[in-house]
Amino acid sequence: MSGPPVLLTGDADGVRTLTMNRPARKNAIDAELWDALRTALSAAGSDRSVRALVLTGAGGAFCSGADIRKGVSDEHPLHRMRTLTEVTLLLHELPIPTIAKVHGVAVGAGWNLALGCDFVVATPETTFSQIFARRALSLDCGGSWLLPKLVGLQQAKRLALLAETIDAEEAHALNLVTWVVDADKIDAFVDDLTTRLVAGAPVALAQNKALLNENADRTLREALAGEARAQAMNFATADVPEAYAAFTERRAPHYTGRWAVPRTVAPKGSNGGQDS
């Protein structure tokens, strides 16, 4: 008899919520949950009805990291790490806004998955740790890339080498949490945030997210070239004229991301551009 699903998926008003569902283990991620996350994130990225994604955990915890209860697997580490890499990239590169709704603990790989989201909303009771060094391990799920960008090299080394546990207030001060919200208000806060994001122009939001992610390691010249390409894509949608019209008419815009470049129709009698 199989148990409950390790990952719950819910959709409402353009928002997909993924809930890690191993509460007895504080949502520690085992092989089944890694596979479920990979499948779910891939599906979310290709579903145009999904305009924002929330990642959270069941049972009062976000995620206590990778599940090491069974000890070291006899599978080659490179194979195990390939799945972690795929999940991390899928989350980071999703073309929609992502929010980590964090209760309880966010540890190791769990914390780095939260940091891989565009926004992190935590409660005052939440605690965080880059626990890897305590387990004789090094950072994974993008931690070695994310932490120096978010907190600077010195603080990143402190978090990684000492593997301290910090609270939500300190994480917020270090720019590792976007908002700290009381536990009884966090659901309403995230609902309001996703409502605002879903109302945005999807192509423009995707372009902005990609530009910010990519340009962190680029020269100004490369960044400007990327901005020019992105803006050209925005002007090819129906959302730009809709934004202008809404501004003129003093109303809220309705964004769809629809491609608005007229199709080229071959003249009668032509071969439609095909070689004869």
Going residue by residue through the chain, which has 276 residues, state the pLDDT in tens, using 9 for 90 and above: 578 999 999 999 999 999 999 999 999 999 999 999 999 999 999 999 999 999 999 999 999 998 977 555 666 667 778 888 999 999 999 999 999 999 999 999 999 999 999 999 999 999 999 999 998 889 999 999 999 999 999 999 999 999 999 999 999 999 999 999 999 999 999 999 999 999 999 999 999 999 999 988 888 888 888 888 888 888 889 999 999 899 899 999 999 999 987 776 666 665 544 443
Q: Which of 63, 140, 49 is CA-nearest to residue 100?
A: 63
Please give the DSSP secondary-structure letter assigned to residue 24: G
CB 227 within 8 A of CB 189: no
- Tell me how far apart the alpha carbons of residues 223 and 215 are, in angstroms, rounded to a whole number: 6
Q: Is 266 exposed, middle or buried (0-12, 13-18, 19+ CB in 10 A)?
A: exposed
Residue 81 pLDDT: 83
Residue 80, phi-psi category: left (phi > 0), alpha (psi -120 to 50), beta (remainder): alpha
- Tell me how far apart the alpha carbons of residues 145 and 105 are, in angstroms, rounded to a whole number: 21
**What is the β-pairing status of strands 98-102 and 52-57?**
parallel
Residue 71 pLDDT: 53
pTM (global) more than 0.85: yes
Residue 222 pLDDT: 82
59 token code pair: 């049972």
